[in-house]
Structures are given as structure tokens and as C-alpha cells.
Structure 1
């Protein structure tokens, strides 16, 4: 059983690297005193990834969460001292472009920096050489300077945080090799080492690339792949003689040459060079030697000169002064990659009290520690962690082969220019709907998400796009897009289309007490007659939106839920009382969305039930048959048109598709993809959880306050929302339309008020609205700006794109097309 008082909790952290030390500091700062940190190596440098890390901290990336982690790491390490020096050296960062593609991407990255509040400036080649005189100016097209980035002194930062945590009661024990995890009744109870057992109410695996080993002891999968990464140091260079203080080592920005997968940092009078250009080198965490058996340290493997040779020549090409030098020493350092490149954080459901803080680099270390500490002590993190949640991976994504394939690919692509829609190329296809063969016959262009193949458009519809007058797109927005999407959107508005909705997660909740359970977990009134469908929200205790759900009451104690992620399943399973069963039915079922003004003409002849508006109202559900196929039909629409979601078992999915397709021929039915779907849903103003709203936002801020019914009784987050309403919010998810009908943005661009130098917010989702003839963008803005008619502008690859705040929904505000 957990302790009576949270502050009495016994915590054992496995791993005294930068994450473990940061976590001990954060936990003890929050009042938890009984914290023990164990490591198999000697302290303060036990031999994991932290012990050899070059300490690069670049804050900017496409993930807002990861930027927040890095920003806090910079702030915290700035405030830490060891040996009379700060644990952070703010030399800044400099990313240089030697190709047009990279130079364009640096403009995009400058926009990301602005969106997330990071100082950044695009520089000319001359200004780049002012910062790094060794650069060959003739090779450079420009650079991106981030002056607040820099070098973390990782091991001193460990020492400083160890000292603070120890002063509050924590203890750090070196040379304790973990050999087992004790458990009882589904809860962790202790950690077994070669030097004794440590009772625990909470155990945190912060073991880095040994994470899979610790996880296996606990019966918990840790989906990460250890990989070796090359790092070399030159001989002393005359150009650096006397330039740097030996104690701080560097004064010039960290230099990234991503066109050749390289980075550079100063080591007093030498240059350190890191390379991602070599072949992936997977490392078996079970085969890594112990500290005393390793030639240098466990995470430092022998340098493979032949792998580094091309990178050395590329380094000389960029920094010609290196031609008179050579590689003095090097090593292949081990660190962790996951299938999507993000950390793995959170508490296991199978073993309560067992937490993961894995696949975390120095860059994000303090930020991750703060978030996990808040999660452990307050019951919820203080930032949105859905991208890092350990439950985000599907079972199909947890095989060792999948983890190795995707982890290795993430290593290869770490410095690549990655489009936001760009899928991994392998292993594919992995998960396909029952309609996959028909989709291939129609020339589907597939992208991938959650392991699923998702059609984005169909080449069979190309003739429908002939003659459409569409603005010409720039190269970036034209990637993973086709004008066919416009034709599919138009066909949905004018006739009828079939959409594959199979990848959307479906849960089933059954048993006595199901209604009371769901009422307590969600915000809207679910106590309705069977056959009702309700849009509702899962909130955290602070009133933040953990997810949005569509709940169909099929029988008094039988509910089908449309959910977003594995975290939704995890949350319901954790809280389900005895007698209530929660089951993921996604793999064994499928769904087709039949939408468009002719949807009723298509479906009604296939069933003996009444599908009229009076007989089958909006947001209603029923079990029926479509032809020979038993289905659960729900009258819902995420595209703003009349229609139904039709669910059946996977074995009957192909028959359902063929039945609808044949019946739809006289009505001009088409198959339509996700590209058209996204355009149509933004025209209707429908939110996408994880993009438009997260746990950082309340329902009233996000414009979904209509799904909150405080009068129904208590539910998670209700108390936190007291006194809140649409009138009290200070920020809002806001609809924008771009003034230029030819302009297109894709999301995450900064938004500026007129005359402002600093952004007021950022775009969440964006797509071209083919019905409206212009691009739509939703953005988080201060409430004072979220007034229809307000003029703003977006920054897109360095260009100012004028936009106007619009009244929403943009399309069919009276809902006449859906309710007919």
C-alpha cells in the first residue's frame, strides 16, 4: 500500500546520471525526503551517457514540449554552480546552411523558435564567420543564431543537484547494481541490489540505455534502442591558442553542420566533432560491460576510425584549418533512441508505482525531471506530455524488431529536414484496415500514423481535379499534398464519400456501474437513454483537457467510446471499479464514414431501419444491418455533412466497403482521404486533441465548454473549473483566415499582432479550406486579440502572411447540412 502521507513516500531512483540527479533535486524540493538514488558505477560520473555527453543544449524544435524541457534545463543549470562556475555556458548556438533546402528550413526553424519563445536570428554568411572565424564563408548560405543556447556541464550539474538533494534528505549510493524489482499485488515494493534490498513505494527507472534491462526486471516494456554515436577531438589548434578559458572550455557557439550530420564545440584549444553520418550501430544493453570491466566507461565504446573518415573530410571542408590537424582521440558513445525520437515517461499501469524517465538527453534533462516530479507529487504533470507518454505506443509498435528499425531510422534522420507529414519508410505496411486492398486498387497515397496506413488521397479521383482552379503551392506545402484532395473535399460537399476511420481508437466499457464510472470520469451528461451519443471530455484534476471522447450508450451498461490514444485507455483502466470492464476493440473492428448530402440516398436502401432525420436523429446510435453486414451506426460527422459512422467487425469490413461502394455508384460515390478530411473539419471548426488542445488548456479556452455540465454532479476536474467560463478566459483557441487566397501555412507558425515585434501566439492546425477558397489556421491567442475582424500576421519561412480573426464555424454555422 502507498504511504498515508505523500511526503512519506519512499522513492528509489535507478540511475544517477543527469536525469536521476535532476529528479532527486526536484522531488526533494517538493517536500519528498525519503529519496534514494542508486547507480552501479562510481559517483558522480558512473559511466552512463551523462558521463561522456558533450553537453549541447539547443532549445528549438518542432515539439513545444521538448522546447519547454530544454528551456527549463537552461534556466536551471544557469543557476547551479560547481567548482565556482555555472553549470551552463551560454555560448549560443549556430546552425549553418550550405544548401538551399537547409537555408529554407532555418527560416522555418526561426518561426518555431518565435512560436516557443526562444530568441533566434537569421544571419548572413559574414556574420556567421564573425561568430566562427574558422568557417569557410564561401560555402555558407546563412545561419541561425540562438544566443541563449549553450553547453551544459553535465557531470558538475549532477554534483550540484546531488548536494542540494542530499541537504534535504536524499541519499546517493554508488556501486549498487540492481538485480531485481520486488512487487506485491500489482504494486512495486522494493529494489533488489547486489548490496541489499531497498523498500520503495515508487521506483523510477532513469537508467538511460540500460532502461530495457531495468524494465524487464519489472515486467515493463521500455521501447528504446541504445545506439553508438561518434565523437572525436582534434589535436590542439593554433587558431584557438589562448582563445578560451580552460575552465569554461568554450566561447564560440555550438556549431551545427546538419547538411553533413555534424556538430562542433570547443574544448579550450581543440575542437570536438560529433557525427550522425555513420551507419547505425545498435548496442545490446545486456552486453554492455560493468564500469570496472570497461576500458574507459560502459557508455564509451572503441572508436571506429573507418566510420568517421568521411565526416573528417566534411569537417575539413567546412573548417579548412582542420586540414593541418588530425583526430587525436575519439570514442563511440552510447545513448538512447525511441521509435519516434521522444522520451518515454510515466507510471506503468501493470506495476503501479514503477515510473519511467527514459530516453532523455542532457538537453531535456531538468525539464523532464520537473515534469515527472510534478506528476509523482501532484498526480499530474505541469506541462503537456502526451508526446512522451509511455502508453502512446501501440502493441504493434513494441516488438524488438520495430523498436530497432524505427530507432535506427531516427538516428539516421536526426539532422534531416523532416516535413511534418513525413512518415517513416519502414516497417510498412504494418497495420492496415480491411479495406486496404480496395484502397490500393483506387491508387491510395498512404501516410502512416500509429502504425496504421492512412489514405490521404486516391489517384482514382484525379479526373475530378481536372479544371479545378487552385493556387500554386510552394515546395514545402506541396509535399505530401495533391490537388486531388480538393476534388475529394468538393465531392464530399456535393455528393457522398467513404472515409476510412478504422485507425481511430475504439474502446468498450461494460458492466454494472459503467454509467456512474464514466459520469465521474468525463464532463458531459451521459445519463441518457440507450441510443444517445455524447461528445465529452476527459480532464485532469487541474481542469486541463486530457482528451476528448465520443461516447455512445448502446445499452444500459454498454458504452462504445471513440478515443484518441493509448493514454485514454490507460486512464480508464486505472480508474475502472470492480465490475466495470474496459476493452480496446480497435484491432478487431473497423469503421467507414459515409458523408455527404447524398449519404441518406446511399445508405437507406441497404437497411430496413428508418434512416430519416426523424427516425435516426443527429448524435444517435443504433445497431442495424447494412446489406448482409451487422453494424453499429452512429449519426456523427466530422466533416460538416450529413452522414454516419458505420462500425463492424474486421472480418466483415471488406464486405461492408463493397456493399457501400456498389450502392453508391449511382450517386457518384468516391473514396476520400485524410487530406480532404482535415480541410473539411477545420471549415467546421472541429478541434483535434493533441494539436489544437491539450492538458495545458481548459475547455473554455479551447472553445469546447459546451461539453462541460457541472450540474450533473462531481467529475474529475470539476472543482478546478469553478468560476471559469468563456467570459473569464485570458487566451482562446482562435480561428484565422489568411487574407491572400493563394497563401498556405501548415501549423506551428508564430502569430503577431499588428505592429508587434514579439509573437502573441502560435498556430495549432492549418489547412486550405477548399469550400471557402482560402487557408484556415487555428491559433492560441490572447483573448483581447481573439475578436473577429482583428488583423494579425503569421511568419512562414520568414515571410509575413496577413490573416484576420474570423467568426467560427466558417462553414454552415446553423448546422443545416448535418441536421437534415
Structure 2
């Protein structure tokens, strides 16, 4: 009989590849008292039946960085542990059957090169040479990654488990966690059933690596971990004579992937309409189990596959497999500390890419746990992006029908989910819908992204070129630049911090000086100890003891978690008031004229200077007007009680008719802000980016005294910048920038574009990105010649360290 310990430093729940990777990496960092608990046997959930594809190219730079680490780890793991991992760097080929897919693949290749991944764009003929069994008559292009490969998922997991044990970790199978204990907002222990006995184990940390059980494990702790299992299908052929060693092949346009293994072909599918599974819970005895076959569901994939690879027509089917995999609402996995529970960590929700992700994910999480901060920007997969409502089972069921297929869908810019929509809506939703709004979704919010003309279809036509709303966005953009536009930004996160010590608390967290007069608005960042940007926000002082924080809607849970994590003995209360007020930005050169028509208040520069807020009358209602801007124009953001929002909007609309008032969407907000070089959190500025290198030193006041990150800022001032955030404009007016395009300095790729959009006023695509500059002056940076590589083609670019639009902010302060 195996006895369980009474305490551990960390308990890891789940013995799949993710759990074993976390145990391995924590042990490598020198952690002791590591206990991994597996309810049945290692790999018995979904790991054992994974296809084992190990690719390095992901949708973003840091996800590619993690995938590359995973591939490198699996190569060396066998030598370290003596356990054969089956890792074979046979390469991978992704083929394009359409020009749109080709552009996606080639754009990804440019980004991968900037991250040190060996990648080649190859012709159809070269594809045929590397994969002779492939039908290429309709192939228009392909990408080959020589060091991609495949491995044995079960053996990789066992190798990680052995490596963890070699460094002192303990792994116990047949141990089911019954209860998670917590006290005063932090983890204290677990209750475990093992060999017929129940044991309570105290611990400092818990890591939820429970795979498709992770939703339930999270619920035990009161933590939302939104994911849902779907059926995942593949077939394995009989042995095929003279098949030969082949690269992994992906034909995303046919929803299929192919893996050669031991002279057989494994054909798997990510079909557009998936089959959710486990709506009534996963059976208690589920262990190395399969789901019933559904050949009718898989047949359309197989029919295309036989045409794509004719040898399949005569190959017998050895195995038809159907097993469950868990999928998240946005097809990105979960990593990090739960926003509402100290020391409860998650590493799960891998959307069928757990083998190629878990090595890097385990490394990143272990370093995060060790240091208390993410080792680099992991916002793509941070658990703090989750909204509480996303744990709703009906929502998860509806969304998971779509998310499995999105893995192989065209990943067009601005693509919006089609399922599980309409959960969060502004009070103006129906007003905007009636006026032609086409909505997108962020953090569950329905937001007007653009406005269709009366005779125009109200839906996206996706493309890598100019989409069907391009002209609409141009008209909205120019209205903001030359007249006046109104937006609905109700989705902004709104937080009140109030109490006797509210000022002292915010002075500790914010880099700018919060000790300002009531009515003053302060633009600031909250920094981590490295001087990286944890939050980008405005803070309005409402009174001596009350402050109003405005953050992006997508980062609200993250920002709330950061505030609550650092609230010590201060007497201050933190309240999410997002739903209490709508936000209507009124922006443009004619904004003052419009405001004077709807309100008796004085909006002159003298009476209402930039960076201040006042209570005003609007029509027959009340609002709080903030004179700030995210578009680089004269304007006010109106914070309106939700019950008065419709009235204020109607008042604005009626008064603005004579001024040419234009309803504007979020695409226009973004195109205007990038012309003005305003930063976007999660793209241009992250917790990995030093505030000075991001060009935001003007918002940092080291003289005010101590605050988190101050020492790092002072050190950076002393040692100098290693890189600078630069604004680029393509000289050719036709190409488009989105993000992740390669920045080429004097003929050499140096980094990638962090965010991009079309600058309708400046007459070309605008992007931002970091340029290495250690030991160089600003003049040195600007003296170089720049190009941006888009899908393998390079375009000349103008570079600037000042905003290309209104660099002195004269229009903002007009």
C-alpha cells in the first residue's frame, strides 16, 4: 500500500503530458515536495490517443517560441531520461489550395523566421518531391519546416514523468482529488481518495492539469476554467508497401492532417462542425476509452483525402478512432494563476495541440510559479482573459461546435466567432443594429465594428486583402479626422478604488503620480518588478478618497486580479462597476460644437481643459464627461448611467445631424489610434515590454517615491534602452499590415510588427514594432533603411519615433 504525504509544496492534478511537464520543469528548478496526482493512470485521459504532431509555427511570436522550445526539449529528453520518446524530426509541410491560405502560410513563415524557426516557402513541384504520394494539381503553394516532427505521446509523457522523478518529484496514480481547500483567498490543500483511504494534504500551490476534467476541478476551487470536450476522429491504414519516411502533412483547406508511422498513414480531421461530448459529465470509469464510431461524420473528410492521396483508395483501414479532446472558447489554452484564488494555477485546455504545446507551457508555468511573474508575454494564453460567464455549460456547448473546426479554418484578420454570441450587450445594441452596425465580439461583448450602408450586406467577407468594410471604415475614419464621430465603448472595464488609503494604494501600483486634484485624469501604467507593463489605463480622481479606473474590456479580469493581489493592509475597496455606465466617445474637430448643442455646460479650453472630468447635463439626463482621446482628436468620453444611455444617444444623434455626425465602429477607433501611435495593450505593450522602451516614459514619475517597478525604471535609465517602439508607414499604399509581419532593418529581419491597421488619413498601412538599439541613439535607429516583409515580399517603410499624425497633439488640445 502506498501512503500519501500529509503535506507538499505543490500538488499537480492530472497525469497527462501537461501535468508531467509541469512536474518536470518545477523539479528542474529545484522545487522539492512536488506531488503529482493522477485519478487513473498516466496518459489515460486524452494524451494516450493524441496524434503526436510536433510543430513549431503558431499564430503569434511567443506561442511559436514555446512550440520551438517543446520540439527542442523532446529531442534531448530521450538522452536525459533513457525513455524513448519516438521523437523524429521528419519535417512538416502545410499546403495551400487557395491564394488566401497561401498568404496565411507565407505570412506565418515570415513571422517564424523572425523567431529563429527554420522555414521554407516551397513550390507545388518541390512539395511533390518531398511528398511523392500527394496530388498537387490544385496546390498553389506550401511551407516546409524541416525541424518539425512527430513523437509518441505516451512515451513523451513517461519520459517527462521519469525526468521529474529523477529530480525528486513524486507521482501517484489511482489518486482522485475529492476536494480543494482554501482560506482567505488562497490555496491550503486537497482531500484525496487513494487505495480506499481518504487523505487530506496541505499544500502551498495547486496546478490544475486535469485536461477535459479541468472545468470540474476549477469548479471545486471556485475558479472558472471554460472548456468542453468534443469528439475527435482519425483513421489508421493497414501497412502500405514502399510508403517510405514522410513529413507530417497538413491540408487545412480539406480539414485534414496526415502522419506516416511504421509504414502506415494516420489521417485526422478538424471538421467545420464538431460534435461536443460529455454534456452530462465524463463517466467516472473513463480510462483509455474510445467513443462510438461515426463513419458518416468522418466520410466527407475521407472522400477528399482519397483524391488528395490516391494510394488511400487501395489501403485498408486498420483503425477507426474516435476519442474526446477538450476545446476552449477561443482555441487558446490556459496558463497562469487564477485571478480570484492565490496559488491556484492552470495548465490545460490545449485544443488538440497538447503534445506540441506542453513542453513550453510546462517550462513557462514553472518559471512563473518560481518568480511570481510570467517569464515573458503570455497574454495569449493567460487564464485571466477568461470572463466569469464563460463557465456556462450552454455557452461552452454552443461555442465548442465551432472551435474545433476553427483550428484548420482560414485565420483571416478580424474573423469573428459565429456561435454563442449576444451574451453581453450595450444598452444601445438595438439602436446601433437598426442603423447598420455589424458586430464583433470581445470578452463576450457585442461591439459595433463597422456600419453598413442601407443597401449593403451586414456581414463580413473575410480576406487578407481589403475586406468588404474597408471603404466604410475609411468614411468613418475621415469623419473623425474632419468632422465628428460617436462610438459606443460601453465594453470598457470600469473599476472604482475608494477608501481612506485609496491614494496610497494607487501610488504604490501606478507609475504616474496619482496625487492630483479631484476631477483630474491621469494616464498611467501599472508595472511589474521588471518595469514591464501589467496594465495600461486612465485613472480619474473623483474625490479625496475615490478613484475611477478605465481599462480595456478584454483585460478587466486581469486588472482586477492585479489590484486585489497587491492590496495589503490598506483600507481601500476595489469594485467592478463596468455594467453601471455606458461610454460614448464624441470625437473630432467638431466635437466641441456638438457638445455645446446638447449641454449647457462650458466646454471651452479654459473651462474644460484636456485631462479633466466634469459632471454635465446632456439633454434631460446627466453624464460625466472625460476630456481624453484614443483617436488623437478633440473629444470627450461620456460616461452615462445605463438607464439614461438611450436618451443621451438619441440627443447626440438629433443634435449632430446638422454637423454630419457619423456613427463609428471599433475598426475606426483602431485605425485612428495607430495613426497617432497610441499603444494597444496585449500587442504593442505587454508585461514583457519595459515602459521606457515602449516610449511611455512621460507617464512615469520616479520622483514621487516608491512604486512597483521603480527600481527597474531607474536601472533602465542608467543602462540605456535595448530596443525602441517604432511607428512605420508603408510607402506603397496598397499592402495591409495586421500584426506579426517581419521588420527588416538594413536588409536583416530584426523583429515583428506588434500591431497594424490602415491609416486612411496618412494614406498607407501603419504598423508598430520594436527595433533593437542597444548602444544606439534615436538618430541611429532612424538612420537605417526599413522594410516590412509581408508573406515573403518586402515593402519599403518610413519609420518614426514620434506620432506621424499630429506629433505635437495640437488637435487633441484644440
Contact in 2 for aligned 1:789/1:804 (Cα 8 Å)? no
Deviation (angstroms), 1:87: 5.3
**Residue of structure 2 in register with 1:319 after alignment:** 309
| Cα-to-partner distance string for 1:197-231 (whole Å, 9 max, x where unaligned) | 32211111101011122122222222001112112
RMSD over equivalenced CA pairs, Å: 2.2
Match of 1:735 among 716, 727, 742: 727
> Which stretch shifts more, 553-562 or 144-153?
144-153
* 3-state secondary structure, aligned to 2:189: strand
**Residue of structure 1 in register with 2:583 after alignment:** 591
Deviation (angstroms), 1:85: 4.2
1:267-306 matched pairs, under 5 angstroms = 267-277=261-271, 279-284=273-278, 287-290=281-284, 293=285, 297-306=287-296
> Which stretch shifts more, 449-458 or 761-770?
449-458
Q: 1:797 to 1:278 in 2, by over 3 A?
A: closer
Distance 2:357 2:701 in 1: 38
Q: 1:140 to 1:744 in 2, by over 3 A?
A: closer
Distance 2:576 2:184 in 1: 24
> Which stretch shifts more, 691-700 or 173-182?
173-182
* 3-state secondary structure, aligned to 2:743: strand
Distance 1:462 1:534 in 2: 43
**Residue of structure 2 in register with 1:662 after alignment:** 654
**Residue of structure 1 in register with 2:239 after alignment:** 236
1:321-470 matched pairs, under 5 angstroms = 321-360=311-350, 361-460=354-453
Deviation (angstroms), 1:144: 0.9
| Cα-to-partner distance string for 1:294-320 (whole Å, 9 max, x where unaligned) | 5xx445323333322222222221111
| 2:620 paired with 1:628 | yes
* 3-state secondary structure, aligned to 1:666: helix
Match of 1:72 among 69, 72, 95: 69
* 3-state secondary structure, aligned to 2:20: helix
1:466-505 matched pairs, under 5 angstroms = 475-479=463-467, 481-505=469-493
* 3-state secondary structure, aligned to 2:129: helix
| Cα-to-partner distance string for 1:23-75 (whole Å, 9 max, x where unaligned) | 11111122210100010223xx4412111111111221222232122111111
Distance 1:685 1:302 in 2: 54
Deviation (angstroms), 1:475: 4.9
Match of 1:557 among 540, 545, 553: 545
Q: 1:500 to 1:583 in 2, by over 3 A?
A: same
Distance 1:431 1:83 in 2: 52
Contact in 2 for aligned 1:700/1:726 (Cα 8 Å)? no
Contact in 1 for aligned 2:272/2:404 (Cα 8 Å)? no
Q: 1:480 to 1:674 in 2, by over 3 A?
A: farther
**Residue of structure 2 in register with 1:768 after alignment:** 758
Q: 1:40 to 1:537 in 2, by over 3 A?
A: same
Distance 2:452 2:371 in 1: 51
Deviation (angstroms), 1:669: 1.6
**Residue of structure 1 in register with 2:693 after alignment:** 701
Distance 1:541 1:87 in 2: 41
Contact in 1 for aligned 2:224/2:388 (Cα 8 Å)? no
| 2:662 paired with 1:675 | no
**Residue of structure 2 in register with 1:131 after alignment:** 130
Distance 1:98 1:413 in 2: 17
Distance 2:219 2:424 in 1: 26
> Which stretch shifts more, 301-310 or 585-594?
301-310
Distance 1:600 1:777 in 2: 30
- Give the number of equivalent residue pairs: 787
Q: 1:173 to 1:590 in 2, by over 3 A?
A: same
> Which stretch shifts more, 48-57 or 475-484?
475-484
Q: 1:116 to 1:726 in 2, by over 3 A?
A: farther
Distance 1:161 1:412 in 2: 30
Q: 1:492 to 1:64 in 2, by over 3 A?
A: same
* 3-state secondary structure, aligned to 1:37: strand
Deviation (angstroms), 1:568: 0.5
Distance 1:526 1:96 in 2: 54
Which sections of structure 2, spanning at least 5 residues, go unmatched? 1-6
* 3-state secondary structure, aligned to 1:164: helix
| 2:140 paired with 1:148 | no
**Residue of structure 2 in register with 1:216 after alignment:** 219
Deviation (angstroms), 1:142: 2.8
| Cα-to-partner distance string for 1:552-601 (whole Å, 9 max, x where unaligned) | 00111111111121201111122234531111111221011111112111
**Residue of structure 2 in register with 1:161 after alignment:** 160
Deviation (angstroms), 1:420: 2.1
| 2:770 paired with 1:795 | no
* 3-state secondary structure, aligned to 1:625: strand
Distance 1:818 1:337 in 2: 45
Contact in 2 for aligned 1:734/1:780 (Cα 8 Å)? yes
Distance 2:402 2:462 in 1: 27
* 3-state secondary structure, aligned to 1:138: coil
Deviation (angstroms), 1:395: 3.0
Match of 1:310 among 288, 294, 300: 300
Distance 2:511 2:492 in 1: 21
1:605-620 matched pairs, under 5 angstroms = 605-620=597-612
Contact in 2 for aligned 1:494/1:596 (Cα 8 Å)? yes
Distance 2:416 2:800 in 1: 32
| Cα-to-partner distance string for 1:332-362 (whole Å, 9 max, x where unaligned) | 1221100001112222344322221111311
TM-score with structure 2 length normalisation?
0.93
Distance 2:463 2:269 in 1: 29
TM-score with structure 1 length normalisation?
0.92
* 3-state secondary structure, aligned to 2:137: helix
**Residue of structure 1 in register with 2:514 after alignment:** 526
Deviation (angstroms), 1:720: 2.2
| 2:47 paired with 1:57 | no
Match of 2:259 among 249, 256, 265: 265
Contact in 2 for aligned 1:62/1:112 (Cα 8 Å)? no
Q: 1:101 to 1:811 in 2, by over 3 A?
A: closer
> Which stretch shifts more, 422-431 or 16-25?
422-431
Deviation (angstroms), 1:708: 1.2
Distance 2:665 2:411 in 1: 22
Distance 2:173 2:462 in 1: 56
Q: 1:416 to 1:726 in 2, by over 3 A?
A: farther
Q: 1:201 to 1:484 in 2, by over 3 A?
A: same
Match of 1:198 among 196, 201, 204: 201
Which sections of structure 1, spanning at least 5 residues, go unmatched? 1-7, 244-250, 464-472
Contact in 2 for aligned 1:457/1:482 (Cα 8 Å)? no
Deviation (angstroms), 1:153: 2.9
Contact in 1 for aligned 2:84/2:159 (Cα 8 Å)? no
Distance 1:689 1:461 in 2: 34
Distance 2:272 2:103 in 1: 25
Contact in 1 for aligned 2:754/2:769 (Cα 8 Å)? yes
| 2:497 paired with 1:506 | no
Distance 2:445 2:468 in 1: 17
* 3-state secondary structure, aligned to 1:301: coil
Q: 1:708 to 1:103 in 2, by over 3 A?
A: same
> Which stretch shifts more, 113-122 or 529-538?
113-122
Contact in 2 for aligned 1:209/1:285 (Cα 8 Å)? no
Contact in 1 for aligned 2:629/2:812 (Cα 8 Å)? yes
Distance 1:31 1:727 in 2: 31
**Residue of structure 2 in register with 1:189 after alignment:** 188
Q: 1:495 to 1:744 in 2, by over 3 A?
A: same
Q: 1:140 to 1:486 in 2, by over 3 A?
A: closer
Distance 1:675 1:183 in 2: 43
